């Protein structure tokens, strides 16, 4: 099916990590239709990632959780507002790269003449897509980045990078550098740690992170930085209690500042959660703590992305992690 769209709507309401892994596919669309206007509809928490990617001419940010959990009357008004906005967009191509029931319907209601959806079996309404041939059913045996790219098969997009790329704003990079310098970190080898995770099953014990920090801090040239997001407020007291003196804890960094901070790190050690995908996308050396190696489909992608753990996460030992950390630091 050959088309020359002028106004493209891309829908992706996945989490931060999902959106980052889709960046090669979004870049491929941008490259293929260089003269088209691209609007990306995404979740509120992922908006910053889309902004930093530079791949959208316009962004429609939707707070899906507020719609799901909030006041019903407000939610209905918000849904109506979103539908009106996409209807007024004048889109001639809608690509639902994540494909949920509600997002498939949104693509249909956009009025776009051409609609290309991911086929997730019983999790999507593939009959609302009208491309021929339609994408094959989602292949769960390939990495998610490849999976997203495979959706574009009907557009005959073939050559594309497989590496998600995010370039932080130079002003943010300099701003964070100033923060680090004011905290006495100039000239130090900086190791970032992200001990939080949205899913408790993906959390390595905070005590284990602290023991790794204790070992690393024996080197006077190394300083450990702990990054805590809004969801990790309950960890602040235990972090202060468990980690060695000299550890610097940053609680207020948004995704833009975190991306900028990662450009100054020699290593970002993290549980399986969005920030490690962000760190990998800016090119920072990353080490993912993953029980049984993590689900390979969602591993971070980058030239310096590594993983440690082929056991249950609770059985992943401090010494094994330290060995992997030192391997990265001395490579």
Question: How high is the pLDDT of residue 309?
Answer: 85
Domains of the chain: 7-155 (3.40.50.2000), 170-329 (3.40.50.2000)
Residue 331's pLDDT band, with cuts at 50, 70 and 90, is: confident
Please indicate, yes or no, whether the overall pTM of this predicted structure exceeds 0.85: yes
Question: How high is the pLDDT of residue 294?
Answer: 58
Residue 1's pLDDT band, with cuts at 50, 70 and 90, is: low
User: Which element (helix H / strand E) includes 241?
Assistant: helix 236-242
Span 262-314, pLDDT tens digits: 999 999 999 999 999 999 999 999 999 987 655 788 999 998 999 998 778 88
Residue 64's pLDDT band, with cuts at 50, 70 and 90, is: confident
Q: Is the pLDDT of residue 133 over 60?
A: yes
Q: For residue 223, what are the β-bridge partners?
A: 190
- Number of neighbours of residue 317 by Cβ within 10 angstroms: 12
* 276 close to 213: Cβ distance less than 8 angstroms: no
Question: How high is the pLDDT of residue 199?
Answer: 83
Question: How high is the pLDDT of residue 2?
Answer: 64
Question: How high is the pLDDT of residue 126?
Answer: 82
Question: How high is the pLDDT of residue 233?
Answer: 84
Beta strands in 271-331 (DSSP E): 286-289, 305-308
Give the integer Cα–Cα distance in Å for 63 and 81: 12
List the strands of the sheet with 222-227, edge to edge.
248-250, 222-227, 189-194, 267-270, 286-289, 305-308
Give the pLDDT mean for 62-84. 91
Give the pLDDT mean for 318-330. 95
Give the pLDDT mean for 4-24. 96
Say how many residues make up the chain: 331
Q: Compute the mean pLDDT over every residue in the chain, rounded to the nearest whole number.
A: 93
């Amino acid at each position: 099916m050959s088309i020359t769209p002028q106004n493209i709507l891309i829908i992706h309401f996945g989490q931060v990590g999902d959106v980052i892994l889709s960046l090669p596919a979004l870049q491929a669309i941008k490259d293929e239709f260089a003269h088209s206007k691209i609007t990306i509809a995404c979740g509120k928490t992922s908006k910053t990632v889309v902004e930093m990617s530079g791949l959208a001419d316009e962004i429609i940010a939707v707070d899906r959780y507020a719609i799901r959990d909030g006041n019903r009357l407000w939610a209905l008004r918000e849904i109506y507002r979103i539908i009106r906005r996409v209807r007024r967009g004048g889109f001639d191509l809608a690509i639902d790269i994540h494909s949920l029931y509600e997002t498939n319907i949104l693509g249909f209601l956009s009025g776009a003449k051409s609609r290309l959806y991911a086929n997730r079996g019983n999790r999507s309404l593939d009959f609302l897509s009208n491309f021929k041939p339609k994408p094959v059913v989602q292949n769960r045996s390939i990495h998610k980045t490849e999976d997203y790219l495979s959706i574009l098969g009907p557009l005959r997009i073939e050559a594309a990078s497989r590496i998600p790329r995010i370039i932080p704003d130079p002003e943010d990079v300099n701003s964070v550098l100033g923060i680090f310098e004011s905290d006495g970190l100039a000239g130090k080898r900086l190791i970032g740690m992200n001990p939080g995770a949205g899913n408790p099953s993906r959390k390595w014990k905070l005590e284990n992170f602290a023991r790794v920090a204790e070992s690393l801090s024996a080197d006077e040239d190394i300083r450990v930085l702990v990054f805590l997001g809004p969801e990790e407020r309950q960890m602040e007291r235990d972090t202060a209690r468990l980690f060695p003196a000299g550890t610097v804890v940053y609680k207020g960094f948004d995704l833009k500042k975190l991306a900028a901070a990662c450009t100054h790190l020699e290593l970002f050690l993290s549980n399986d959660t969005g920030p490690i995908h962000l760190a990998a996308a800016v090119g920072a050396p990353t080490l993912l703590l993953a029980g049984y190696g993590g689900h390979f489909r969602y591993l971070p992608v980058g030239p310096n992305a590594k993983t440690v753990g082929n056991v249950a996460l609770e059985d992943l030992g401090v010494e094994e992690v330290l060995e992997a950390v030192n391997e990265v630091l001395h490579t």
